[in-house]
């Protein structure tokens, strides 16, 4: 009894520490200054576009989706204060973690000390670019929340309600950042429902599964209406002349998630086995779906498969889209939220299916905690450089109101192509309406 009380107390204390660390990092590295891509995708707000235009607003290869509504609301309430936006993004990630905890409780019927894994996965400081670099709730945070919510709603026992909610969430998710890849999985999920209905001779469920299969296909098709292919990279090439780079790229992305450096030992003896284990889990869960007689086990296995396939599809797309930048691009922290569903699925598979010794779980938790801590790492130095650079440029511009002069004085570039993004006009807009950096400026 004392043993479990101690373990639970430590888990609660560490959870509080993880949450506090998350918001302390946001407070330390966020700056009230639009940066890089923000000057581009915030164009919808500068131009005061309508709801559908904001929802379908394309930035690079993805759209902004429901996240843009939250961005607009935060901007309207805060005067475009990007520090407030960073805290909003952090809160969305916290909501995703709470949704994951609710899903685990729904699947296992309890919350234990070992569920400390969930805040460790969802609130990893390694995803610092979400707030320290170019804050955009539609890229990372909101897709993670929506995907986790999709998985939770799939546990609803009322089939018409389950299908309806998941179809709606699927539509919102595929329009929001790289959540688009859930759109590749959802039609397959409804096809599996159709196959199960045929197996069980359930004609009503067959009809529903067919209807929602076509709804999910129509949803992904709608995404490409008025869509322009944009890799967001001038040097994009496919296929890459060195095809093995895709394999290494994916392995590095997985190694980055667990806080490991990209050495060959890490890639081939840690990252690669994780991917093979994910493939095994897909096979095992799919096999159990085909042979299961318990209706409660089927949704659990389906959720695990969906989460893992999403992460694998994303990592493959990441490799195809970014390999031209070199292997270092695979370690970008802004992609970590898209890796989270796959790792979360592995945890769900372990605690709901496999009997793993408590000591092994404790060791895994301890190692993950140690490898993802951010103090004293290159991430800290990069975050500090970004924070100080933004602040220097901001102060220089408030004094000179000249983009080129501010760049020279600060030694920092706020946007690589100021003319293309109409930076001067946008800065004048912010000044006229006393928004963003002008919130801190004295009135003239």
pLDDT of residue 444: 55
pLDDT given for residue 375 in this prediction = 52
Report the mean per-residue pLDDT for the chain. 89
Contact 128, 27 (CB under 8 A): no
Quick one: pLDDT at residue 322? 87
Peptide bond connecting 413 to the previous residue in cis, omega within 30 degrees of 0: no
Burial class (CB in 10 A: 0-12, 13-18, 19+), 225: exposed
Using an 8 Å Cβ cutoff, are 385 and 137 in contact? no
Q: Is 373 helix (H, G, I), strand (E, B) or coil?
A: coil
pLDDT at 354 over 80: no
Residue 442: what pLDDT?
Answer: 63
* % of the chain surpassing 70 pLDDT: 92
Q: What is the pLDDT of residue 243?
A: 85
- Per-residue pLDDT at 159 exceeds 90: yes
Is 443 a residue whose pLDDT tops 70? no
Residue 67: asked if its preceding bond is cis (omega within 30°), the reply is no
Residues 258, 275: Cα–Cα separation, whole Å? 13
Residue 421's closest CA among 91, 116, 157, 36?
A: 36
Q: Using one digit for the tens of pLDDT, what is the confidence trace for 313-323? A: 999 999 998 88
Query: Please, which residues have CB within 8 angstroms of residue 113's CB and are 6 or more apart in sequence?
Result: 4, 7, 8, 10, 11
Mean pLDDT is lowest, of 174-183, 233-242, 284-293, 389-398, for 233-242
Per-residue pLDDT for 132 more than 80?
Answer: yes
pLDDT tens column, 371-383:
677 555 667 788 8
Which candidate, 104, 118, 96, places its Cα nearest to that of 348? 104
Q: Which residue has the higher pLDDT, 388 or 239?
A: 388
**Which of 35, 29, 139 lies closest to 89 in space, CA to CA?**
139
Instruction: Count Cβ atoms below 10 Å from residue 318 Cβ, excluding itself.
Output: 22
**Cβ contacts of 403 within 8 Å, gap of 6 or more:** 397, 414, 418, 423, 424, 427
User: For residue range 390-404, what is the model confidence (pLDDT) as tens digits?
Assistant: 999 999 999 999 999
Torsion sign across C-alpha atoms 117, 308, 103, 25: positive
Q: 48-104 pLDDT, tens per residue?
A: 999 999 999 998 888 999 999 999 999 999 999 999 999 999 999 999 999 999 999
Structure tokens at 177: 């950042």
Residues 25-58 have pLDDT tens digits of 999 999 999 999 999 999 999 999 999 999 999 9
The radius of gyration of the chain's CA atoms, rounded to the nearest angstrom, is 23
């Amino acid at each position: 009894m004392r043993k479990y009380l101690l373990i639970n107390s430590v888990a609660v204390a560490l959870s509080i520490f993880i949450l506090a660390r998350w918001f302390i990092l946001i407070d330390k590295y966020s700056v009230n200054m639009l940066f890089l891509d923000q000057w581009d995708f915030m164009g919808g707000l500068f131009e005061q576009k309508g709801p559908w235009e904001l929802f379908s607003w394309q930035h690079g290869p993805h759209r902004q989706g429901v996240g843009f509504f939250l961005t607009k609301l935060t901007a309207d309430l805060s005067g475009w204060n990007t520090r407030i936006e960073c805290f909003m993004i952090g809160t969305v990630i916290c909501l995703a973690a709470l949704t994951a905890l609710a899903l685990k409780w729904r699947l296992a019927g309890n919350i234990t000390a070992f569920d400390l894994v969930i805040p460790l996965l969802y609130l990893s400081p390694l995803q610092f670019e979400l707030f320290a670099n170019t804050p955009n709730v539609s890229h990372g945070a909101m897709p993670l929340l929506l995907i986790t919510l999709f998985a939770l709603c799939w546990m609803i026992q009322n089939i018409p309600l389950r299908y309806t909610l998941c179809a709606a969430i699927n539509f919102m998710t595929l329009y929001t950042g790289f959540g688009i890849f859930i759109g590749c999985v959802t039609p397959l999920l409804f096809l599996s429902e159709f196959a199960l209905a045929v197996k069980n001779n359930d004609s009503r469920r067959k009809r529903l599964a067919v209807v929602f299969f076509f709804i999910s296909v129509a949803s992904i098709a709608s995404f490409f209406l008025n869509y322009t292919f944009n890799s967001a990279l001038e040097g994009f090439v496919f296929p890459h002349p060195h095809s093995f780079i895709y394999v290494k790229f994916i392995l590095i992305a997985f190694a980055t998630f667990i806080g490991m450096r990209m050495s060959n030992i890490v890639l081939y003896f840690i990252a690669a086995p994780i991917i093979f284990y994910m493939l095994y889990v897909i096979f095992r869960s799919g096999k159990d779906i085909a042979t299961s007689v318990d209706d409660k086990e089927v949704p659990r296995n389906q959720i695990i498969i969906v989460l893992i396939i999403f992460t694998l599809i994303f990592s493959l797309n990441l490799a195809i889209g970014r390999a031209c930048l070199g292997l270092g691009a695979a370690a970008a922290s802004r992609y970590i939220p898209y890796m989270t569903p796959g790792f979360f699925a592995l945890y769900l598979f372990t605690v709901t299916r496999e009997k793993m010794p408590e000591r092994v779980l404790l060791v895994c938790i301890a190692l993950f905690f140690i490898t993802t801590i951010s103090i004293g790492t290159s991430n800290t130095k990069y975050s500090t450089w970004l924070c100080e650079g933004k602040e220097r440029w901001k102060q220089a511009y408030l004094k000179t109101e000249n983009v080129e002069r501010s760049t020279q004085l600060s030694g920092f570039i706020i946007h690589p192509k100021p003319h293309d993004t109409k930076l001067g006009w946008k800065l004048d807009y912010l000044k006229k309406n006393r928004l963003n950096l002008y919130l801190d400026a004295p009135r003239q």
